[in-house]
Chain A
């Protein structure tokens, strides 16, 4: 211990991480390609530094370099890396190992795959202590204490479990526990909450913030989510094509950006309640330069609307724009006047009358789905009734396991609903299973998935993929097929020259365009969009959202839009349905649902999301795990977690879905005025309630 103290003493003065002019190269087909181009950054003790940028810009490479963990084909070609004052590149292998085991930790995306599937959680955490020479049972005790620190309920039980038995959020806590067990000088988090539910994300971020306070750890936080960076970091660096193009305090960079790339990124995100009918999202034209491309001038020149001749020849130096804020742009003063890439005007067309007066394209009554699992009945979807008008978007939100995707599959006929459920297309009841629907019905209901790879046959060319959809759904053949194909690719802004490519040769954004083209091939009335942009970078996401909005107006298509990104849902949706444990908790116009008075669950869900625009509503913490479908809580299914819990009535009586205002429904014992008054302030500490049936031993952390 004393020795440890002695070695860590100088650490408090040295920067936790210091990259100087770091160049990293990857060997691709025999040639070295630059991935990082002279990255310099420093993280002071106790500081939290965020690194943002699109995928492929080198964020993770920078982090792995700081651990001296580059892939076999990677090398540091010049520059230096100092961790806690020590020169990493001069270290022996043994020293690097010591550094990893005592001073630097990393937490990454996909916690479940980051843990060994065949080793008990407890042993995996204890290993960190064993490595420092702590004996068997003491290592176990310390591991348990660590699990307690990361607020895992029932740490003793979790110690003896395997990763696949825990939820993603729980596993991420375990990984964080492992990372902090060594009390590191530097903690690196690489997209730690990507893929987690908003509520779980909020909990994990809270936890990291609290532990950072407690341990005084410096943090390198990598995320594509600017909101998360704003919330978690003191300083931020914007990385583009392996170069830090702007750096400063988060406040400065996000509210007074001085580089066109940062400006562009910030404009891509649907924020401040932006909606499709108010204007298009801005996008960033073009693509990231290829790996290792020689860029004599500004790395962003090819995509910058402010580009001048000088940009192409002279690398911009680091301009100090005040208060430690630096920008690598010759024209940093004009950065915020960056012309838009898309027209700000929303695509609108004369809408025939009020949409609610028209016959709904789809309507459901009492849709239910019960799965049978090991003799249990699992009610995945319970009694869902709603309608969708032509050209309207209904956003579906809720945590994972809320039944969003099951509901979508039920409508599509991919899953057959229970007896008694009614799904009507254009006022005509349809069969539950897709095989029993006629071609017309199949054609009118299409889907776009999150992962286009799953939907596109990788062996077929784009032409064949879209062509087949046209032939199968519309019976289009011959010359007509070519014309329709061209129209369709044009309408999704897919470059016709790429039509012979295979899906694997395309970027994620292009693939998603193909998937959208295919969904629109049959001129559908309804398209289910299941997280269509969550795998994409923000600039690509903006382009896809614009495209969806445009296609909707042009074709009068209705969308059922599923996303965990509430900003995105809000942008595209006319109405929102909030699901919890397979039940419809709230349904109403988007603006109504997004503001008070709102259902307590919606309120909590929304408050979990951090905002770049700094919406300062107090956070409501949703504690505990989502109860199991097999054994839902009695009364109001949300009562075990509800921040506005009334009393016994919530535990004993299930509230009806009632219309509290015209067109606004919710399932809560409160009425509209009561919640309006209540929601003017944050909820009191939640009244104590007994743990009732349905909770999986997940008590709110103390």
Chain B
């Protein structure tokens, strides 16, 4: 068990290293000279060269990479020459904002999808099951921007409730912030519901079919106890893993939704950085997304094994 976790962590670190190289190389491919981008086409070549040497962008790629990585490890993310702010500030704020949105979405979707999936499984084959399963699937199949536009058209524009922009005015309390965030969060809920509910449903069906569930029923336990004590314990295990991997998946969705709702989150920050060729922000931001994704899956794996005695204790023979 300990060895399993240790290897998983080691693997994550290796993945991260590879990712950092990829991100670094990829961001070099973005066309344009860094200083020229900042100073504009009218600046003279001498000042461009000077800025480049100031920024260190005239050095060899290996040196630049080394600099970047060691900087990150010591907590120094560098500065964005374009925005004239430290990368930490730019990304820090947007990460907090994205996290708020993601948290709200998760608080809604996880219980909802698990309940829906389990309920559908218990009512397998009925109309209610089909409604939940098909509904979840189609909600997921519709692209997120379509949901975003649809929701904006229906609520703020049509009914006059909720806001088309997600950024609450400065100084708003939690409830006001939630009020602003609710529509983009619902978009994410739609995107995620199908996957999680489907996993919960499949896991529950499998557990319902298992011999141990038969044992529990034949013991004479009431249906509710059977489900709570015997079925859910086993069926939710795989679901937990899915939920965690969805965190990574969700970041992709964030970019679009944050843009549409004009919300200053990580997605929007990255998008803007890419547009403005703000390489320090872009590099660090993308790497951060990678870290979040890896940590989420790692947490899922560890949680799964902690909850599952077969993995936790291993077989004795």
Say whether A67 contacts B218, CB under 8 Å.
yes
Say whether A100 contacts B219, CB under 8 Å.
yes
Stretch at the interface among A108-116, A255-263, A662-670: A108-116
Say whether A178 contacts B309, CB under 8 Å.
no
B44 within 8 A of A: no
Question: Which chain B residue lies CB-closest to A69?
Answer: B218
Say whether A101 contacts B212, CB under 8 Å.
no
B229 within 8 A of A: yes
Contact of B214 among A69, A99, A162 (CB under 8 A): A69
Say whether A114 contacts B310, CB under 8 Å.
no
Which of B184-234 touch A at CB < 8 Å? Answer: 210-212, 214-222, 229-230, 233-234
B308 within 8 A of A: yes
Question: Which residues of B have CB within 8 Å of A165?
Answer: 313, 315-316
Of B215, B216, B221, which is in contact with the most chain A CB atoms at under 10 Å from its CB? B215
A8 within 8 A of B: no
Contact of B217 among A69, A128, A175, A178 (CB under 8 A): A69
Question: Which residues of A have CB within 8 Å of B233?
Answer: 116, 118-119
Contact of A117 among B214, B218, B310, B316 (CB under 8 A): B310
Say whether A178 contacts B219, CB under 8 Å.
yes
Q: In the complex the two chains form, what is the Cα distance from A110 to B214 in whole Å?
A: 13
Question: Which chain A residue lies CB-closest to B230?
Answer: A116
Give min CB distance, B188 to chain A, whole Å: 31
Q: In the complex the two chains form, what is the Cα distance from A451 to B300 in whole Å?
A: 36
Question: Which residues of A have CB within 8 Å of B216?
Answer: 116
Q: In the complex the two chains form, what is the Cα distance from A108 to B222 in whole Å?
A: 21
Question: Which residues of A have CB within 8 Å of B237?
Answer: 118
A458 within 8 A of B: no
Contact of A119 among B210, B230, B307 (CB under 8 A): B230
Interface residues of A toward B: which range?
20 to 34
Contact of A101 among B211, B215, B221, B230 (CB under 8 A): B221
A477 within 8 A of B: no
Question: Which chain A residue lies CB-closest to B316?
Answer: A165
Q: In the complex the two chains form, what is the Cα distance from A67 to B234 in whole Å?
A: 25
Q: A101-B220, A128-B219, A164-B315 are in contact. Are A113 and B309 (CB under 8 A)?
A: no
Which of A132-187 touch B at CB < 8 Å? Answer: 162, 164-165, 167, 175, 178
Question: Which residues of B have CB within 8 Å of A119?
Answer: 229-230, 233
Q: In the complex the two chains form, what is the Cα distance from A101 to B233 in whole Å?
A: 22
Q: In the complex the two chains form, what is the Cα distance from A519 to B266 in whole Å?
A: 62
A102 within 8 A of B: yes
Question: Which residues of B have CB within 8 Å of A131?
Answer: 219-221
Q: In the complex the two chains form, what is the Cα distance from A539 to B210 in whole Å?
A: 30
Q: In the complex the two chains form, what is the Cα distance from A178 to B216 in whole Å?
A: 11
Give min CB distance, B221 to chain A, whole Å: 6
A98 within 8 A of B: yes
Question: Which residues of B have CB within 8 Å of A105?
Answer: 218
A20 within 8 A of B: no
Question: Which chain B residue lies CB-closest to A115?
Answer: B212
Q: In the complex the two chains form, what is the Cα distance from A96 to B315 in whole Å?
A: 37
A-B contact pairs, 21 of them (CB 8 A): A69-B218, A99-B220, A100-B217, A100-B218, A102-B220, A113-B210, A113-B212, A117-B309, A118-B234, A118-B308, A119-B229, A127-B219, A127-B229, A131-B220, A131-B221, A162-B309, A162-B310, A164-B313, A165-B313, A165-B315, A401-B317
**Which residues of A are at the interface with B, using a C-beta cutoff of 8 A?**
67, 69, 97-102, 105-106, 108, 110, 113-119, 127-128, 131, 162, 164-165, 167, 175, 178, 401
